[in-house]
Amino acid sequence: MKRTSKDRPLAVRNLQIRNEEGKNTALVAEIYPPTRQYAGMPWECRYRITGLQPSPIEGMSAGEDGIQSLHHCIQDIANRMDAEVTRGRVSYPDGERFDNLELCRETIASKRPKRNRSSLPTDASLVREIRKVAAAVHEDPVGVRRALRVLRRRASAQGLIADVLLCLESELAAARVLRDDALELRLLRSIAQSQPSAANLAALADALVQHGHARAARAWLARAAAVVESGTRLERLILHKIEREGRKPDSDSPE
């Protein structure tokens, strides 16, 4: 089967990592081209790290456009490798110590343009319709959820990310009224992927903690820490949660 461009790495970094016996082995990070399923959906950027663990690590980062998903992908790779880089065990193939990964992560996190939802395109009439439907969430959460899904598809077809987010948040309210934990997690994940702000990423992590998914929660908290504004109360809260969750054993439950 012929490989397409999206199956080939967009960028590759060849490194080496020193194991406990002092032997260097290959460490390779690969980033694949950002893609999206169809117009209006978040962009996704896959990555693969070989040599950091016994089995290759494969992940995906989302963003509002291809560049943002690529930025998040680099941040995620930095988070994955951070512990070994800090210990000085990662180097270039020629032996030079690799020490710019943390700088790369912080530079992208601090200098990436912040795009507020207010600057995203929206449709005023659709927003009014979404809010009108959402107002009945306590009377008919099932019907509201169904209607919001239809409205979300309309917003997605028009590429109106802000309206999609409004639908998702209203659907989340319906899920909480219904006490549907699985649906709540799915919606929180969709919100975090559609607009991966520190607050949204941290909210998903909190829900994962509540449902016993400690390992997954730590991964999302790490992403939140990479994009949160420095010196804010939210940053202190996220760092506190990372420290707290780091002391807990991993859950046996899958994400």
Burial (0-12, 13-18, 19+ Cβ within 10 Å), 206: middle
Average pLDDT estimate for 222-238: 85
Give the tens place of pLDDT for each residue, 16-59. Answer: 998 888 899 999 999 999 988 766 667 888 999 999 888 898 88
Give the tens place of pLDDT for each residue, 191-228. Answer: 888 788 888 888 898 888 888 888 888 888 888 888 88
Q: Which residues of 84-110 are buried (b: 16+ CB within 10 A; e: fewer)?
A: bbeeebbbeeeeeebeebeeebeebbe
pLDDT value at residue 225: 86
pTM value is: 0.50
Distance separating alpha carbons of residues 113 and 134, to the nearest angstrom: 31
Radius of gyration of the chain (CA): 20
Domain boundaries, the chain: 8-111, 117-183, 196-255
Distance separating alpha carbons of residues 14 and 153, to the nearest angstrom: 42
Max intra-chain CA distance, the chain: 66
- Tokens 């291809």 correspond to 66
Q: Is the dihedral of CA 69, 72, 74, 77 positive or negative?
A: negative
Give the tens place of pLDDT for each residue, 140-166. Answer: 999 999 999 999 888 887 778 788 888
